[in-house]
Amino acid sequence: MKQKCGEKMAVSADYIAVIDSGVGGISVLRELVRLMPKERYLYFGDSANAPYGTKSAEEVISMTDATVKRLMARGIKALVVACNTATAVAIHMLREKYPDFIIIGIEPALKPAVNRFPQSTVGIMATPVTLRGEKLKRLIAANPHPDIRLIPAPGLVELVEAGLANSPQMDAFLTPVLGPFVGKLDGLVLGCTHYPFATAAIRRILGNTTVLFDGGEGTARQTQRRLSDAGLLYDGPGCVVFENSLDDPHIYKLCESLMEENYG
Ligand code: DGL
């Protein structure tokens, strides 16, 4: 698939916009491209303002609002909020503001984790904003389970943004976060789109027995369903355009490598 980086181009109504606080949403973009390779994608990462997950809900709402307003003005056919943090606090605002528009928001893949491990311990690792949000409380209430552990990981996003997703620094960061759970978790929900890129480091600490769940694939399937129902599927040629608020060659290099590298 053709990829373009950092070229500000006019976007037509054929494009699906995919947004995140930074490069993390590329883990969702990969699933979208795998499922719908004939679509055109505009990926916008707000790396200049990342991380969102340690900011106030009001700040995240205002940053998400500004990004979406700019994208809507350029003409897109659907919006995928590939950021659990922005979905947690801003998805209602977006749906109220653009009621007729296709808007899909990722949320932690708790349901498949609870279905697979109904009795044994399941962890949800996510940003502080996601973990304290009402949306997650409702998701947990809808998927009752006797032993869910909430695992905040502030600082992980910054390492992924710095290109250190699979590095000794990531291992050093994750050891105190996940060390207490070694041998105790059957499932771990990766409730932030940056975290799948740290899969290798997570496995080095937790081993291979903990099953990892992330919401990327489910979000891609839901996007396909909504586009198909609206008769808006595009028949190629597919492409991906990367834009980022940092507008720096390093960030575009990172976008390309996260898009292509095997992180499992
Ligand atoms: N990737 C985002 C998420 O899924 C946001 C991380 C952040 O900026 O803190 O939550």
pLDDT digits (tens, 9 = 90+) for 21-61: 999 999 999 999 999 999 999 999 999 999 999 999 999 99
**For residue 7, is pLDDT > 70?**
no
The CATH number assigned to the domain with range 2-106+216-260 reads: 3.40.50.1860
- Order of strands, edge to edge, in the sheet holding 187-190? 148-152, 122-126, 187-190, 211-214
Domain with CATH 3.40.50.1860 in the chain: 2-106+216-260, 110-213
Is 83 among the catalytic positions? yes
Vertex 181: Cα angle to 108 and 185 (nearest 5) = 55
Give per-residue pLDDT as tens, 55-90.
999 999 999 999 999 999 989 999 999 999 999 999
| HSE of 220, CA atoms in CB hemisphere, 13 A | 19
Where does the pLDDT of residue 146 fall: very low under 50, low under 70, confident under 90, or very high at 90 and above?
Answer: very high
Task: Find where tokens 């390309």 sit.
Answer: 256
pLDDT at residue number 6: 62
Query: Looking at residues 113-131, what average pLDDT do you find?
Result: 97
**For residue 145, is pLDDT > 70?**
yes
Distance 231 CA to ligand 1 centre (A): 31
Distance 87 CA to ligand 1 centre (A): 10
CA distance 19 to 244: 10
**For residue 190, is pLDDT > 80?**
yes
Q: Is 57 exposed, middle or buried (0-12, 13-18, 19+ CB in 10 A)?
A: middle
Beta bridge partners of 239: 2, 40
Protein residue with least CA distance to atom 9, ligand 1: 53
pLDDT at residue number 3: 67
Query: Looking at residues 104-115, what average pLDDT do you find?
Result: 97
Give per-residue pLDDT as tens, 230-259.
999 999 889 999 999 998 999 999 999 999
Q: Over pLDDT 90: what percentage of the chain?
A: 91
Quick one: which atom of ligand 1 is closest to the CA of 88? Answer: 10
Cβ pair 114, 143 in contact under 8 A = yes
Distance 21 CA to ligand 1 centre (A): 6
**For residue 2, is pLDDT > 80?**
no
Q: Over pLDDT 70: what percentage of the chain?
A: 97
Characterize 161-192 residue by residue with b for buried, 16 or more Cβ atoms within 10 angstroms of its Cβ, and e for exposed. Answer: bebbbbeeebeebbeebbeebeeebbbbbbbb
**For residue 131, is pLDDT > 80?**
yes
Least Cα distance to 39 among 84, 87, 80, 82 occurs for 80
**For residue 99, is pLDDT > 80?**
yes
Quick one: which atom of ligand 1 is closest to the CA of 55? Answer: 9
pTM as predicted: 0.96
In terms of CATH architecture, what is 110-213? 3-Layer(aba) Sandwich (3.40)
